Structure 1
């Protein structure tokens, strides 16, 4: 019997209702179904007095989800999608992401189109688009304190975000650089349209094998966003006397003290998005963010005097 999974946002009544209907539909079509909420992929927060507050990356997989799961349907908004891929990526399970929220930048379809989309999926009429994820780790005296799988971005900032701080950053084998800013963002191409975009970073197409570093409100004209190969790891040393906070995917994180080291690298796991049509990134940019829309004052013809 084929096996499918459902991950849904149990804080949204519509997602709960659709999850029940979807489970019944799949079972009537001869599928075994495993169900979980997105809560299991939410990252914990550590405290200065309890720095170790995380599960290993591989331990976030929901019960009964295994490599026999052919696909999962994720019901929620972008936050649920980010949470779900932390649960699914270690097993390589592809997911159809269904928007029951507002922006839904990471979702493939809307809830009112779910069941026609399901019919296509059951016929195998879909593609899989793989997106880069990051492994983020916090070390203190070379002891691993905290780790997470990241699809969008990792952010380090002061708490509260009111003053400048310094970061010493080493990318791959390149010379270490010093950046003075309110904070720092390391993002994937998927995350380039999230916080990094708001901080002035460039939009990067999902299939480009790069990462980017974007300072938040840098205190220098020379400190600007940097795009570099995703084959290079990143080490960040907080050259700051006061504790800072690291947040992954806007969801959870930990405190960082001057003796700590934050390490990032491209994860061996990927987020595998089910696409019902050929992936068309520019269309999503236009529909969700208004990029490339024609100017309303653009003349349709030119009259010569």
Structure 2
């Protein structure tokens, strides 16, 4: 079998490009081919991807890799880096471990959203982090009706609503005071943005639920998928959200537990 690795890098970071130039000869000296074009990576069936950037870069790589069963190693060039497995200084010692098969694959839940708009074709989007509903800047408060598996559940009069995976619980949802959920928990998180009701609280629901979101009050709102693609919905439109049939695959080589990662990234020193 061919030994092929793919590189997925944030080209806006010069240090990521510099490291990519160092990684290529390192692999070639060990008999591996290094690819950077996605079409070639898929065609040649790369054994894994190396993401050079931050969590946003890793999100992109993991989403694309999930469709082809390609696991991803995240190298952090960003700030917090909840998702990335290693820092840039650890890259070559980590790669040695991977080539010795000293790693594990961690699967991460993903969500699939179908946007059903009146008079238009349905749209489908898959996310690893979150789906964000937000009002337009000049509009007033919107109300989003949430149905769980066809049954009305809660209304959120708010500036918006975040539907996130456990992976996404440490992203935008965290800044909106949503709870942090371990990636080992199979659940979906609903976090309102600036709720205008004391009863509008975050909810954690089963990953088996089908979530329907309807714009119950307001003319339109923006729906954004993993912070990269946005669609406007209007009154009468529905967004149906379910657990995706595939999962993202992240390469884990260290012994850091999830609580340890949380402590490190949030700089919590109460235990010392």
Equivalent residue for 1:84, pick from 39, 61, 82: 61
* Displacement of 1:143: 5.0
1:24 maps onto 2:25 in alignment: yes
What secondary structure is seen at the aligned counterpart in 1 of 2:151? Answer: coil
Q: TM-score, normalised by structure 1?
A: 0.83
Contact 1:127 1:278 in 2 (8 A): no
- What is the rounded CA distance, in whole Å, between the counterparts of 1:211 and 1:196 in structure 2? 12
C-alpha distance in 1 between matches for 2:14 and 2:3: 28
Q: How does 1:51-200 map to 2 (within 5 A)?
A: 62-66=38-42, 68-141=45-118, 144-160=121-137, 163-200=140-177
Find the counterpart in structure 2 of residue 280 from structure 1.
Answer: 257
Greater CA drift, 87-96 or 161-170:
161-170
Q: 2: distance between equivalents of 1:184 and 1:262? A: 12
* 1:9 pairs with 2:10: yes
CA-based RMSD: 1.8
Aligned equivalents of 1:146, 1:14: Cα separation in 2: 37
Q: Residue 126 and residue 84 in structure 1: after superposition, are their counterparts in 2 closer, same or farther (change >3 A)?
A: same
Q: Report Cα offsets for 1:165-213 as digits up to 9, x if no partner.
A: 1112111143343221110110111111111122121111111111011
How many residue pairs end up in the alignment? 270
Structure 1: give runs of 5+ residues left out of the alignment.
37-61, 297-305
Shift of residue 162, structure 1, vs aligned partner: 6.0
Match of 1:255 among 209, 228, 232: 232
With over 3 angstroms needed to count, the CA separation of the structure-2 counterparts of 1:235 and 1:202, relative to structure 1, is same
- Greater C-alpha Rg: 1
- Give the structure-2-normalised TM-score: 0.93
Instruction: Give the whole-Å Cα distance in 1 for the aligned partners of 2:165 and 2:40.
Output: 30
* Offset from partner CA, 1:253-298 (integer Å, 9 cap, x none): 111111321111111121111111245100010000134x3267xx
Aligned match of 1:238: 215
1:290 aligns with 2:267: yes
Partners in 1 of 2:190 and 2:258 — Cα distance?
A: 21
Gaps of 5+ in 2: none
Aligned to 2:186: 209
